[in-house]
Amino acid sequence: MEDGVTKEDLRQFGMMLIGTIRKMIDGAKPKDQETIEVEWLKAKVVRKMLDISPGSLQNLRITGKVRFKKVLGSYYYNKSDLTQLFKEDDKHESRTEYK
């Protein structure tokens, strides 16, 4: 028998090493990373979601009804502010419906 390292030994060691590294990388990922919810939405997505014009979205931004950030020329809007708009509208509609 040969005491030297063969190509097959190196191949098996490499496969084992790659498997170990993959397990370490997968274990290092935080569990919450899979369920992260987007907090900031791009203007185009917001317009499509709300079915509003660019001017209407600009009006919401100017009046301060939604928080926004401008990054490299693109506007991003806070998702929680947008959902809050609907909650406020629901309150106003429910009051006017019963009058």
| Residue 26 pLDDT | 80
Q: How many domains does the chain have?
A: 1
| Residue 7 pLDDT | 92
Q: Dihedral, CA atoms, 90, 91, 94, 96, nearest 10 degrees? A: -110
Residue 9 lies in a domain: no
For the cut 80, the answer to whether the pLDDT of residue 83 exceeds it is yes
Average pLDDT over residues 20-33: 75
Residue 47 lies in a domain: yes
pLDDT band at 80 (very low <50, low <70, confident <90, very high): confident
Residue 72 lies in a domain: yes
**Sheet with 68-71, side-by-side order of all strands:** 40-42, 74-78, 68-71
Backbone phi and psi for residue 41, each to the nearest 5 degrees, phi listed first: -115, 140
| Residue 98 pLDDT | 45
87: domain range? 40-97
**pLDDT tens per residue, range 27-58:** 776 655 555 567 888 999 899 988 889 999 99
